[in-house]
Amino acid sequence: MDVLITYDVNTQTREGRRRLRKIATACQNYGQRVQLSVFECTINQMQLETLEAKLLGIMDVEQDSLRIYVLKTGREKALKVYGLDHYVDFQDPLIL
Amino acid sequence: MDVLITYDVNTQTREGRRRLRKIATACQNYGQRVQLSVFECTINQMQLETLEAKLLGIMDVEQDSLRIYVLKTGREKALKVYGLDHYVDFQDPLIL
């Protein structure tokens, strides 16, 4: 299942900057950073629930915003990209 | 059709900051800003194509990143939100 995670963290405080780093690190373990605050993850339901719990444990719901979109038809059908694209498709054949 | 637009613009130059403002303004005309660089739009195919053309006319494909996700099953089924949520559902009854 392809999942998109976007977040805004209030970084006006040192604590906020720490939350931002921890949220990015948590997402990094499950997917790819495609934009500054946007991750694409190909994960199963259990991994999604685990990641959600981790992110909820990090964020401050009074100051931060977290949006999780499940791309039910898959990222290929859903997505159009223009300009810089940092996504690496590990399904593609690796040509050495 | 529910569409998600996410972007990263290189704002190290004045020109970049101008592009950022213009991209946000263009998106504002078609949807709602739900996070700093994330917009949700409920639009038809023609509007999507018009908006895409506008955004492509503004961005610098060498420096900026634009991702457009069509949420084929609709935002309600796709999305989970935690923390701050700036989205206003205009379909909801307005209680005065």
pLDDT digits (tens, 9 = 90+) for A21-79: 999 999 999 999 999 999 999 999 999 999 999 999 999 999 999 999 999 999 999 99
Is residue B41 assigned to a domain?
yes
B96 to chain A, closest Cα gap in Å: 26
Contact A73 B68 (CB under 8 A): no
Nearest neighbour of A8 by CB, restricted to B36, B66, B79: B36
Asked whether residue A6 is assigned to any structural domain, the reply reads yes
Residue B43 is given by DSSP the state -
A1 touches chain B (CB under 8 A): no
Give the rounded percent of residues in chain B with a pLDDT score beyond 70: 93
Task: Give the residue among A9, A38, A19, A83 at the shortest CA–CA distance from B16.
Answer: A83
Total structural domains within chain B:
1
Residues B76 and B74: their CA atoms lie apart, in Å, by 6
Residue-range definition of the domain harbouring residue A11? 2-71
Sheet containing strand B38-42, strands side by side: A79-83, B65-71, B2-8, B38-42, B31-35
Nearest to A6 among B6, B56, B66 (CB): B6
Residue A95 pLDDT greater than 70, yes or no: no
A52 lies in some domain: yes
Query: In this complex, is the C-beta atom of A63 within 8 Å of any C-beta atom belonging to chain B?
Result: yes
